[in-house]
């Protein structure tokens, strides 16, 4: 019995004879999943009586540490219940609390996603300004210069293999899209978000996530200036940022990010000037 108790202590401080059959099935399932090696373990096993509170704190820790990034989808209730060996009701309570705190959003039929706490605060004023006063786009570009030049420089120092592969994948999508389509818009935004993620700086990731809605308004203004024939040059600029990051040339990565934004400003200026004539 003592040997069995030691064995169970890895999973819980509760002796096996006190576990419910559901708890036992959950632990057995987790054991199988570990053996298969096909499940990334995000959470540590919950042993407290206040299970939803403990799980909520784990969620906060995973989000604030950057292990779960803004925009990333959480495992399903079922998968979390199996991994932790707890009821789905406890999972729901923890998720509800995280949702109320503004850390996650539940999309009907789509799952649960991490969001930036900045997003709700920044969305209304910035989006309205960009949509109602097109000239404010230049102020938006000034902020982008500060943030994205730093992100590119930092990413060149901190990016890992997974970050590089993610950027490569996004660039392939950009190659297939046209600058005036939503496919291009999403890929463009994903690329800049991937550079921020490659810094492994949680604040930078959340700032970029918080600016997402403003980016959509920005694209609504910018799409009128982004002609299809400019695709090759725009794609080349994104690839040059990626290449500088890949070879870990921080100074060049910063320069290429600024060069890209300078070109974007030039396009918008040209279009607004034409509209004023």
For 198-213, the pLDDT digits (tens) are 999 988 888 887 776 6
Which CATH architecture describes the domain 117-276? Answer: Up-down Bundle (1.20)
Quote the pLDDT of residue 51. Answer: 85
Contact assessment for residue 227 and residue 179, using Cβ atoms and an 8 Å cutoff? yes
Confidence of residue 250 (pLDDT cuts 50, 70, 90): very high
Tokens of 37: 């090696």
- Give the percent of the chain with pLDDT over 90: 24
**78-98 pLDDT, tens per residue?**
888 888 888 889 898 988 888
Confidence of residue 36 (pLDDT cuts 50, 70, 90): very low
Q: Give 3-state DSSP helix, strand, coil % of the chain, rounded to 5.
A: 70, 5, 25
Quote the pLDDT of residue 137. Answer: 73
Positive/negative CA dihedral, 8, 10, 15, 19: negative
Q: Is the pLDDT of residue 44 over 70?
A: no
**Which of 106-110, 166-170, 268-272 has maximum average pLDDT?**
166-170
User: Domain 2-114, what fold?
Assistant: Arc Repressor Mutant, subunit A (1.10.10)
Per-domain boundaries in the chain: 2-114, 117-276
Token pair 């940022």: residue: 241
């Amino acid at each position: 019995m003592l040997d069995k108790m030691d064995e169970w202590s890895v999973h819980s401080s509760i002796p096996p004879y006190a576990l419910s059959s559901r708890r036992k099935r959950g632990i057995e399932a987790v054991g199988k999943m570990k053996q298969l090696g096909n499940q990334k373990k995000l959470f540590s096993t919950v042993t407290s009586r206040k299970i939803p509170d403990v799980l909520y704190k784990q969620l906060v820790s995973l989000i604030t540490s950057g292990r779960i990034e803004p925009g990333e989808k959480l495992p399903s209730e079922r998968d979390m219940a199996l991994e932790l060996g707890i009821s789905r009701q406890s999972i729901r309570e923890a998720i509800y609390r995280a949702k109320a705190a503004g850390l996650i959003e539940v999309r009907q039929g789509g799952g649960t996603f991490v969001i930036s706490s900045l997003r709700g605060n920044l969305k209304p004023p910035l989006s309205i300004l960009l949509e109602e006063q097109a000239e404010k786009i230049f102020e938006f570009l000034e902020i982008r210069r500060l943030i994205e030049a730093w992100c590119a420089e930092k990413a060149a120092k901190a990016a890992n293999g997974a970050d590089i592969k993610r950027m490569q994948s996004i660039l392939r999508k950009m190659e297939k899209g046209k600058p005036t389509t939503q496919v291009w818009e999403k890929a463009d935004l994903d690329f800049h978000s991937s550079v921020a993620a490659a810094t492994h700086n949680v604040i930078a990731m959340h700032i970029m996530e918080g600016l997402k809605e403003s980016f959509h308004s920005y694209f609504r203004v910018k799409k009128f200036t982004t002609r299809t024939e400019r695709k090759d040059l725009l794609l080349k600029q994104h690839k040059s940022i990626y290449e500088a990051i890949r070879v870990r040339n921080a100074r060049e990565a910063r320069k290429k990010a600024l060069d890209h934004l300078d070109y974007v400003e030039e396009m918008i200026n040209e279009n607004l000037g034409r509209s004023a004539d």
